[in-house]
């Protein structure tokens, strides 16, 4: 168990900080951060993480738990609550909760960093070389040898990059680990894997 996971379990009482579930817990880094720090992470159950990462699997009633967790004193929990309420706001009750919620300017900027709450036309969308939409946590393969500036190595064509992070303000860049190095990669040089 990592230090961050232990601190999150202590902070949350070994419960999902969103729904209170005590099973299948994991550290969830709140995008677009990838620092692995306590300040950018929450302890979440598999059910919540699955629905956070795949809008197709969202069970609206599961998220009624946000009625409590949106009041968390921990900013990353508030950020995730805001994003889910925003995603579900057309269902009625989430909009009521959003109307009660307050985030300062800096927190709101973080909350909006993934494009939640923006009109579809305004959203920054990351696409691979084939036009497939990329999301945080996806795996990609390099389709070209890339010289990595400042790291003095070449990321080889065919190298797999797992659990990518999107560069939230640039649709043409993602971040990921290649040969143990965290690097920025242009989306035109990657292909999403299933």
User: pLDDT tens digits for the chain (194 residues)?
Assistant: 789 899 999 999 999 999 999 999 999 999 887 677 889 999 999 999 999 988 889 999 999 999 999 999 999 999 999 999 999 988 889 999 999 999 999 999 889 887 776 655 556 788 999 889 898 889 999 999 988 887 788 899 999 999 898 887 788 999 998 888 888 999 999 999 86
Based on the fold, state whether residues 50 and 105 are members of the same structural domain: yes
Q: Which domain holds residue 151?
A: 140-192
32 and 81 inside one domain: yes
Q: Output the pTM of the full model.
A: 0.62
Is residue 99 assigned to a domain? Answer: yes
Measured distance CA(65)–CA(62) in Å, rounded: 7
Burial grade of 15 (CB within 10 A; 0-12, 13-18, 19 or more): middle
Q: Are 21 and 15 in contact (CB under 8 A)?
A: yes
- 121 burial type by CB count under 10 A (0-12 exposed, 13-18 middle, 19+ buried): exposed
Same-domain pairing of 108 and 15: yes
On whether residue 20 sits in a domain, the answer given is: yes
Q: Has residue 184 been placed in a domain?
A: yes
């Amino acid at each position: 168990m990592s230090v961050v996971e232990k601190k999150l379990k202590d902070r949350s009482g070994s419960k999902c900080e969103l729904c209170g579930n005590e099973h299948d817990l994991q550290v969830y880094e709140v995008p677009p951060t990838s620092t692995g720090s306590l300040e950018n992470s929450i302890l979440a159950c598999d059910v919540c993480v699955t629905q956070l990462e795949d809008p197709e699997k969202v069970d609206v009633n599961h998220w009624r738990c946000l009625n409590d967790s949106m009041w968390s004193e921990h900013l990353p929990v508030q950020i995730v609550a805001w994003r889910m309420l925003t995603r579900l706001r057309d269902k009625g009750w989430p909009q009521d909760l959003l109307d009660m919620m307050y985030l300062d300017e800096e927190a709101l900027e973080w909350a909006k960093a993934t494009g939640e709450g923006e009109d579809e036309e305004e959203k920054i969308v990351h696409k691979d070389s084939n036009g497939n939409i990329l999301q945080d946590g996806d795996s990609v393969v390099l389709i070209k040898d890339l010289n990595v500036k400042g790291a003095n190595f070449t990321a080889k064509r065919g190298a797999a990059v797992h659990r990518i992070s999107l560069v939230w303000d640039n649709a043409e860049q993602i971040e990921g680990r290649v040969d143990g190095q965290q690097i920025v990669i242009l989306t035109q040089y990657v292909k999403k894997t299933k």
